[in-house]
Structure 1
Amino acid sequence: MTDGDQAPTIRILVVDDDPLQGALICGVCHRLGYQAVFADCYQSAADLISTGTFDCYTLDLSLGDRDGIELLRLIAADSGARRVIVISGCDQRILSATVRMAHAAGIVDAVSLPKPIDLRSLREALTFEGGGRSTAQHRAEKNARLITAEELSQGLAADELYPVFQPKVNLRSGQVVGCEALARWDSPTFGAVGPDVFIPLAEQSGAIKLITLRMLRESMSMARRFLDRDPSFVVAANLSAMLLTDTTILQQIEQMLDETGVPARSLMIEVTESTAMSDVDRAMDVLLRLRIKGVGISMDDFGTGYSSLSALARMPFSELKIDRSFVKDCLVDPDMWKVVAASVAIAHQYKMKAVAEGIEDAETWWALEELGCDIGQGYGISRPLKLDAFESWYQAWNADTPVPVLTRRVHAE
């Protein structure tokens, strides 16, 4: 391996007003082969964050006359951060709330550790799978922020945007019941561009309708391939807030259903709470007419906004999707578990299916099943897949799944 092929050294910023504690954490970092930089106060850390790039931060919540919460906002602006480890002697509810605040601020990978620090737990929290981000990944992320509407339009014309499909399974039987279609963009210039970059750009530039219609058509064509094997198969696709008030989308969806031969019941339209509530009267018009035609309507990211219950009471939803931010930690965070349990109960009160996003392990699956959650999706089941890969995965999963499900039930009994 040449020097150019070697993975970049992982850089850790250790923030703690106790030099002995800082030295302890830095020592663990060095033994793991990382480069650790120590800051003993808020201002030193803020200066380092503004001038340097770090893969991970360990952050004490108590920093003399300042606190670590202020630093979380600065860290959230650093797109290179892979992980934040919050360390504090505060009680567990404060730690849990801080981690949730970090997630809300955009820090995807945030965890907490209590003081006094358990060295084994610290090493586990500091261990990265696959090493640091590659230079190519960093360059792609940086370039993605510079993409223009014209370049997005060129990507569309060149068929660089395409759907991937994440399976949805029945949590009781283990059988695949459908999938969610997600838009992706692989650009020869910018690399893999995330939907968090190109979807807002598409909405601003007016390209969102073209992207949505393309994703809908390809999703329906995909569903058509599976309906002969499973007439109850349902494909879900997202609808932008801009299109939820466009009544012409109704005729276009109906026309595509007719052309592809897909029954309306096999299509689920997902809308977020903020989308549904942005223009209630016009959104109600579109959603009701879709439901009358037999199309399912799913409330996506339930619980992450400010009017979820109001939206549920007013809109004709048939499915409720519990956001992954609640599901991911529900087995270790009692507060998150209460939210998930309440969400399942609310869905059933409204005669809707409860869907859990973000299932990453069997234990979460089993707990959600016992809770009565109907459907699940997440990386523990499968990542989003291109069509051919989904076909192969679907055949293998439905052939193998009943055995472990039955085995688990025997052991449970």
Structure 2
Amino acid sequence: MQPISFLVLDAQLCERQRIVALLQPLEPGPVHQASTSQEALEGLRRCGGVDIAICNLRTAGRDGLTFLREVSKAHLARAILITGQMDASLRSAAHSMITCLGLQVLGDLGQTSDVEQIQVVLDAYRAGSDKLVTPELDAPPSFAEIQRAFDDDEFEPYYQPKFMLNSGELKGAEVLARWNHPRLGLLSPAYFLATLEAHHLLDKLLARLLEKGLMLQKALALTGLSVELAFNVHATQLGSTTFVDKIEKALNRLGLPAHGLLFEITETGLVNSTVNSLENLIRLRLMGCGLAMDDFGSGYSSLQRLCGLPFSQLKLDGSFVRELESRPDHRAVIESAVTLADSLGLSLVVEGVETSEQQAQLHRMGCSIGQGYGLARPMPTTRFFQYCLDAERDKRNYLLTA
């Protein structure tokens, strides 16, 4: 495992020394220091950049925002950790800006931070920097490259489990698209989805993932296991008059039940629903499939739309969990989502669970199902198959000893 490199930007020498003292017992990597944005940028260019830039935006003022832009533009850091006191709304806006710049947001480091909090931050960085690659988005793959990838069967499903927060029981998995590129490695959808959408290939990708996912379900069924799989569906796909027929044929081909499938549609994608879209949603539910409103709370749809569509599940956007400790308003949103889902008879899945502390707190707040890197990372088919077998064995052993 490669050591993590840092830059600490703060005008106060004592504050820089405090942060360095917290980092040194945990990471052997280099820690660069700077008191101004200009000094920081010059140092980063000399050393070729760092993994994490720790920046006090309050001290740096407007220059701190310029620093973030320059770091992103020149690829001088991969993640940003904000330090110093800042109003909650300003902090949230800063996080949004950092995300828009293509940098990983690691949250905030308060003036009373200790080694354990730093370790949580480093774990989050390593989780977000796992082997997934997103090449430069100013050079997306061409149509010919995408076609070759389909021909060579390079698109594959990765499965991220969902769990009961109280017991750790496996409750299914979300199926995520990955491109296993022969030269660039494992690529995230951020790199290739725009090209797929532009060339009307999203249905082809879903068909490929669905085929492999159903084959996995069939293999698990032979061992006596059933695992619900959730697939992401783009709003444009719901407008197809053949969308549901293809899913039904795929299920019939392998003799699998529809209740083993769930389809996730983003809240923003439902703003302009067509008659075909609404008919497909209804037909999926009548077949027995589940429907989830994905990233709930991140868009601008009305609650009236939620009541008027046949959803069986809400997936709360992970941004509310990341600042659960420091944002009372985020806590209020989560508690409201629990009440709303319960009142509407929907299951609620909370995304973005990264720590055991978040898991315990969410459970106390009434959340039942969670998903996130802190619970389990996305995994390829063979590993997930074994994961399911191990989970069932552990469950049986627990029941025998209970």
Taking the aligned partners of 1:239 and 1:108, their CA distance within structure 2 comes to: 25
**How far did residue 272 of structure 1 move?**
0.9
How far apart are residue 122 of structure 1 and its match?
A: 8.4
Q: Which residue number in structure 2 is paired with residue 86 of structure 1?
A: 82
Aligned to 2:106: 110
Match of 1:324 in 2: 318
2:294 to 292, 296, 300: 300
Query: What is the correspondence of 1:235-254 to structure 2 with a 5 Å cutoff?
Result: 235-254=229-248
Q: AA paired with 1:357?
A: E
Question: Aligned partners of 2:38, 2:80: CA distance in 1, in Å?
Answer: 18
SS at match of 1:221: helix
Structure 1 gaps, min length 5: 1-5
Cα-to-partner distance string for 1:118-177 (whole Å, 9 max, x where unaligned): 57478657857999x99xx79983599453221121011001111122222334554323
Identify which range, 150-159 or 80-89, moves more after superposition.
80-89
Counterpart of 1:58 (choices 54, 70, 84) is 54
Shift of the 57–280 alpha-carbon distance from structure 1 to 2, 3 Å rule, reads farther
1:274/1:139 CA distance change after superposition, 3 Å = closer
Q: Deviations over 1:225-274 (max 9, x none)?
A: 33466686421111123212222212111211211212222211111112
1:314-351 per-residue CA deviation (whole Å, 9 max, x = no partner) reads 32211111122223443554333222222222222221
Report what 2:194 is aligned to.
200
* Counterpart check, 1:223 vs 2:248: no
Letter in 1 for 2:316: I
Unaligned stretches of 5+ residues in structure 2: none
Instruction: Report the Cα distance in structure 1 between the residues aligned to 2:395 and 2:184, rounded to whole angstroms.
Output: 38
- 8 Å contact kept, 1:13–1:58: yes
C-alpha distance in structure 2 between counterparts of 1:286 and 1:144, whole Å:
35
Q: Structure 1's 165 and 11: CA in aligned 2 closer, same or farther, altered over 3 A?
A: closer
Task: State the shift of 1:292 in Å.
Answer: 2.5
Do the aligned partners of residues 318 and 105 (structure 1) sit closer, same or farther apart at CA in structure 2, a change above 3 Å counting?
Answer: farther
Q: CA RMSD in A?
A: 4.0
Q: Which moved more, 1:34-43 or 1:157-166?
A: 34-43
**Native 8 Å contact 1:42 1:66 kept in 2:** no
How many matched pairs?
A: 400
Which residue of 2 is the match for residue 152 of structure 1?
146
1:203/1:242 contact within 8 Å kept: no
Cα gap change, 1:281/1:186 in structure 2, threshold over 3 Å: closer, same or farther?
A: same
Q: Once the 2 structures are TM-superposed, how far is the Cα of residue 72 of structure 1 from its aligned partner?
A: 4.0
C-alpha separation in 2, matches of 1:387 and 1:139? 19
- Quote how far apart the aligned CAs of 1:212 are: 0.9
Please, which moves more after superposition, 244-253 or 32-41?
32-41
Residue 376, structure 1, aligned to residue 375, structure 2: no
Deviations 1:164-202 (A, max 9, x none): 222223345543232221111111122111111112221
| C-alpha distance in 1 between matches for 2:17 and 2:356 | 38
Quickly say closer, same or farther: Cα 1:125–1:82, change in 2 above 3 A.
farther
Letter of the structure 2 residue corresponding to residue 66 of structure 1: R
Q: Residues 102 and 110 of structure 1 are in contact (CA less than 8 Å); yes or no, is this contact kept in structure 2?
A: no
Q: 1:65 to 1:198 in 2, by over 3 A?
A: closer
Deviations 1:349-402 (A, max 9, x none): 221111122333444333333433332223333222222222221122222247
